[in-house]
Amino acid sequence: MPVPDGAVLSRRGEIVAALRRIVPGEGVIADPTSLRAYESDGLTAYRQVPLVVVLPETTAQVSEVLRWCNEAGVKVVPRGSGTSLSGGALPLEDGVLLGLSKFNQVLDIDYDSRVAVVQPGVTNLAITRAVEDRGFYYAPDPSSQIACSIGGNVAENSGGVHCLKYGLTTNNVLGVEMVMMDGEVVRLGGQHLDPAGLDLLGIVVGSEGLLGVVTEVTVRILPKPQTARALLLGFDTVERAGQCVADVIAAGIIPAGMEMMDRPAIHAAEAFVHAGYPLDVEALLIVELDGAHAECDYLVEQVAKMATINGAVTSRVSTSEEERLAFWAGRKAAFPAVGRISPDYYCMDGTIPRRRLPEVLRRMAALSDHYGLKVANVFHAGDGNLHPLILYDANQPGELERAEDFGADILRLCVEVGGVLTGEHGVGVEKRDLMGTMFTDIDLAHQQRVKCAFDPNLLLNPGKVFPTLHRCAEMGRMHIHHGAVPFPDLPRF
Amino acid sequence: MADQKILRANGTDELVEAIGQAAARGQRLEVRGGGTKSAIGRPGRDTTLLQIQGFDTVTDYDGPELVLTAGASTPLAKIQTLLAQNNQMLAFEPFDHAVLFGLAPAATLGGVIAAGVSGSRRLTAGAVRDHFLGLRGVSGRGEAFMGGAKVVKNVTGYDLPKLLANSWGQLAVMTEVTLKVLPRPQTVQTVVLSGLDERQACLVMGQALGSQADVAAAAHLPADINGGLALTALRLEGFEPSVKARVQMVLEQFKATAPCDILPTEASALLWEQVQHASVLQETGTLKGEGALWRINVPPMAGSQVIERLKPFGARCLLDWAGGLVWALLPMTDEAKGVRDVASTLGGHAMLIRAPQALRLSIPTQQPLAPGVAALTQRIKDGFDPKAILDPERFI
């Protein structure tokens, strides 16, 4: 993280007083014990007590807090529910932590236009809860949906098991109200489709809290499908399971969800929730189909045929809602299940071209031997998003570092085979220093120019995403290669 | 313009060179792929034409991966044919603007992305930006860079493809693009309801989209553009048994509302093509007429109000996206301010697609942005194109 600014640390009293003038009462937290609650997000390996926490209740307060901090040169870290798995909400010792938990209202629901307008602290699941009695739901469903906030989802462009068919957050958000670091309030998007100019909403979603603080979100809501059915398919090789996935998609079927688990993940999940998973298979697929009854019936039959052709040794089709949920129970509990068989685990999030899966799993097994750490794999099979869970014990000296090195090697492998560092958890602090494996300095500079357009003083959530934040004034200069000026024959002024 | 200078760039190195030189000289460039949208924007800009060519190879296409990577100047038609051969498609339904300007089809993949061209299925499948995964390009700084990636699920770094889609080449020139591709539906049927007015039509389209029938597209042709008979069209796509069942669901839902018919595959395709190109607005069947053609984006329930308010100007209108997109053809060109006001009052924006030069000179082609958003947009442009060479006056 950036070296804390001693001058800011020494001004703590003044900063707290200024924030108290803007947000009265209990909205400013400064005592050491209460601050502890904010020292970490979902990536608990990293901890830092913030300078002070502020919990504004209105857009005007957010605006004033940001304007004051901008003018005072104080860094700000925005936080939703703090469930980030990449350290996106990790506090700074010399930074204000700005929590949006008091923005917890559903503001408007328009069923005719199929949109909901909510405050950013509303949880992902609460949106569905607010509209489900009318037969609607909000599609993206990150596994933390009971706790994670929609504002955090916007910052991280969160996904979930249904995003192959229904998209990530970015595909389901129509507009935001956002406060920029200088306090200016802007509206991006709205209730119409497609912007008049540049798609600034598109760049804000997934920007990991570095561009602005979202104070209102307009999302698309969808009618709940008539029904959903799932198949539980076991294969004795990962290759066969992978081929079955490819065959399903080649046949023109986009399942609502298509999840794969490897043997260690299957065993951990079964031991934990007794979902009835077969234990004698190398790969388990859960394929969920949703839509009209006629559609589900037809597609279930098609997928079952493909499973047979690919030599599935287990093939079960859910015949009731209870059974469908039971198929999912093990998968949804996979992370805690792994947490039960190992003191600690470290969850990775690379995406690969799906056809490279067998090779990636083989090389991951070799890495597992090399580091002497076990790994269990759950995999969003439809879109190639891999979640290797590295098992380690933080109490054993050196194991956390080995787990991190192992994880970094896995992500490098993902990039090497044509994939990416993160499919849905974000870069945060965790993968920041690996950005260079995917992007050149010039690529990153183009991304940072977006950051400079929104926050030229680099005060909003610094230390995340970018391995190095260059001063914005430097970003404007012409690029010089190894001391050589490009186009040396051109006159310069 | 006959005397416009033309630069050609084959390959990324030449492009880097050309843009770098232009930046050093402050020479403004109009970036052109197929040239089908050249008549959109302010006419008579002092620019040199930068013809993008040679970036026309499909570098990677593996159907089951749902990803296609190709050069930005690859003809759209070539990609659509290739995908159709593999029972896949670009789900955002891009179309070629050539038909609007009486030109031969020539739209390129880069062109439809840069102009954010999405058709009727955009309503439910998402726009260009929702299917645009990665790019290589050269910014106005004369630097080659990449953004996004070649996999369908990625949140690594900023989502530059979103920023480049609909940027009209004003940030960078794209050389290679990666798109998400999806299965082509096995069956398409359209249910048409007759005789609804615009307000009723918006409600019906909203109800259909809020139902479990999984409607893919919804459009409305008011009576005055369809020989006196208003048609509200609901498109259903997918596997045959499913489409059959869902058509029945729609018929059941609306049989008491209006007379319903089912259009078979071919008639359905023809209708949607006419909607997509707005060609139903033209009595002669071609759009090469006089007047101004607008594309107005509003919240879906406001679609009927747009029509109501533009009717006094003699507008002929068509609703797509369940009312959220209004194509309006105005016989006179002096009502432009009125169109803009209607769009902004109703929470949307209006873009001038085709109009005589005089009108395109007198008003900006795109709806002016709110001051804060405009300033932000300008700062992003300054970052990518500090010398303002990438056709900065096109939409002024």
The CATH code of domain A342-426 reads 3.30.70.2740
The per-residue pLDDT for A132 is 98
Contacts of B367 in chain A (CB under 8 A): 196
Q: Domain of B156: which CATH number?
A: 3.30.465.10
Spatial separation of the C-alpha atoms in residues A400 and A73, rounded to whole Å: 35
pLDDT at A391 over 70: yes
Q: Judge whether B33 lies within some domain.
A: no
Give the CA angle between residues A162, A164, A168 to the nearest 5°.
75
> Of chain A residues 429-448, which have a CB less than 8 A from chain B?
431, 435, 438-440, 442-447
The answer to whether the CB atoms of B66 and A299 lie below 8 A apart is: no
The CATH code of domain A6-99 reads 3.30.43.10
B63 with B178, same domain? yes
The ranges assigned to domains in chain A are 6-99, 106-223, 227-335, 342-426
Q: For A323-339, write each residue's pLDDT tens digit.
A: 999 999 999 889 889 98
B99 with B159, same domain? yes
B265 with B221, same domain? yes
B270 with B295, same domain? no
In one-letter notation, the amino acid at residue B279 is S
The CATH code of domain A227-335 reads 3.30.70.2190
Q: Judge whether B32 lies within some domain.
A: no
B137 with B66, same domain? yes
N- to C-terminal Cα separation, chain A? 38
- Residue pair A417/B118 in contact by the 8 Å Cβ criterion: no
Q: Judge whether B20 lies within some domain.
A: no
Contacts of B163 in chain A (CB under 8 A): 198-200, 202-203, 450
pLDDT at A488 over 60: no
B168 with B199, same domain? no
Q: Judge whether B395 lies within some domain.
A: no
The per-residue pLDDT for B289 is 60
Q: Judge whether B14 lies within some domain.
A: no
The per-residue pLDDT for A339 is 87
Q: Residue A438 is nearest to which of B152, B156, B374, comparing CB atoms?
A: B156
Kindly report the three-state secondary structure assignment for every residue of chain B: CCCCCEEEEEHHHHHHHHHHHHHHHCCCEEEECCCCCCCCCCCCCCCEEEEEECCCCEEEEEHHHCEEEEECCCEHHHHHHHHHHCCEECCCCCCCHHHHHCCCCCCEHHHHHHCCCCCCCHHHHCCHHHHEEEEEEEECCCCEEEEECCCCCCCCCCCHHHHHCCCCCCCEEEEEEEEECEECCCEEEEEEEECCCHHHHHHHHHHHHCCCCCCCEEEEECHHHCCCCCEEEEEEEECHHHHHHHHHHHHHHHCCCCCEEEECHHHHHHHHHHHHCCHHHCCCCCCCCCCEEEEEECCHHHHHHHHHHHHHHCCEEEEEHHHCEEEEEECCCCCHHHHHHHHHHCCCEEEEEECCHHHHHHCCCCCCCCHHHHHHHHHHHHHHCCCCCCCCCCCC
The per-residue pLDDT for B187 is 94
- Residue pair A384/A353 in contact by the 8 Å Cβ criterion: yes
The per-residue pLDDT for A257 is 95
Contacts of B342 in chain A (CB under 8 A): none
Q: Suggest the residue from A66, A171, A198 to mutate for an interface test with chain B (most B CBs closer than 10 A).
A: A198
Name every residue whose Cβ is closer than 8 Å to that of residue A339 and which is 6 or more positions away in sequence: A345
The per-residue pLDDT for B367 is 96
- Residue pair B297/B349 in contact by the 8 Å Cβ criterion: yes
**If pLDDT is split at 50, 70 and 90, which confidence band does A433 have?**
very high
Last residue of a domain, one of B212, B245, B276: B276
Q: Suggest the residue from A109, A112, A351, A379 to mutate for an interface test with chain B (most B CBs closer than 10 A).
A: A112
> Of chain A residues 51-90, which have a CB less than 8 A from chain B?
none
**If pLDDT is split at 50, 70 and 90, which confidence band does A478 have?**
low
Q: Find the domain containing B129 and state its range.
A: 53-183
Q: Judge whether B264 lies within some domain.
A: yes
Q: Residue B380 is nearest to which of A294, A450, A478, comparing CB atoms?
A: A450
CATH number, domain A106-223, options 1.10.287.1040, 3.40.50.720, 3.30.465.10, 3.30.450.20: 3.30.465.10
pLDDT at A263 over 80: yes
B260 with B244, same domain? yes
- Cα of A163 to nearest chain B Cα, Å: 9
B90 with B123, same domain? yes
Last residue of a domain, one of B247, B276, B305: B276
B157 with B58, same domain? yes
Name every residue whose Cβ is closer than 8 Å to that of residue A396 and which is 6 or more positions away in sequence: none
The total number of structural domains in chain B stands at 3
Domains A227-335 and A342-426 share a fold: yes
Q: Residue A198 is nearest to which of B130, B143, B167, comparing CB atoms?
A: B167
Mean pLDDT confidence for A213-228: 97
The per-residue pLDDT for B194 is 98
The per-residue pLDDT for B359 is 92
Mean pLDDT confidence for A75-81: 97
- Cα of A113 to nearest chain B Cα, Å: 6
- Residue A354, chain B, CB below 8 Å: the answer is yes
Q: ipTM score of the complex?
A: 0.96
What is the C-alpha radius of gyration for chain B, rounded to an integer number of angstroms? 21
B261 with B174, same domain? no
B299 with B272, same domain? no
Last residue of a domain, one of B276, B297, B320: B276
Q: Domain of B237: which CATH number?
A: 3.30.70.2190
The answer to whether the CB atoms of A431 and B156 lie below 8 A apart is: yes
The answer to whether the CB atoms of B241 and A295 lie below 8 A apart is: yes
The answer to whether the CB atoms of B162 and A421 lie below 8 A apart is: no
Q: Return the percentage of chain A with pLDDT > 90, whole number.
A: 89
Q: Residue B145 is nearest to which of A202, A205, A446, comparing CB atoms?
A: A446
- Residue pair A135/A361 in contact by the 8 Å Cβ criterion: no
The per-residue pLDDT for A481 is 40
Q: Domain of B309: which CATH number?
A: 3.30.70.120
Q: For B268-321, write each residue's pLDDT tens digit.
A: 999 999 999 888 887 644 445 678 999 999 999 999 999 999 999 999 999 999
Pairing of strands B48-53, B6-10: parallel
The closest alpha carbon to B19, from B9, B5, B4, belongs to B9
The answer to whether the CB atoms of A196 and B349 lie below 8 A apart is: yes
Q: For A178-212, write each residue's pLDDT tens digit.
A: 999 999 999 999 999 999 999 999 999 999 999 99
- Residue A212, chain B, CB below 8 Å: the answer is no
Q: For A98-156, write each residue's pLDDT tens digit.
A: 999 999 999 999 999 999 999 999 999 999 999 999 999 999 999 889 999 999 999 99
Average pLDDT, chain A: 93
B285 with B264, same domain? no
The answer to whether the CB atoms of A355 and B64 lie below 8 A apart is: yes
Contacts of A353 in chain B (CB under 8 A): 62, 65, 67, 150-151
Spatial separation of the C-alpha atoms in residues B324 and B66, rounded to whole Å: 28
Sites in chain B below the pLDDT cut of 50: 1-2, 284-287
Give the CA angle between residues B169, B171, B176 to the nearest 5°.
65
Q: Judge whether B213 lies within some domain.
A: yes
The answer to whether the CB atoms of A254 and B183 lie below 8 A apart is: yes
The answer to whether the CB atoms of B159 and A206 lie below 8 A apart is: yes
**If pLDDT is split at 50, 70 and 90, which confidence band does A19 have?**
very high
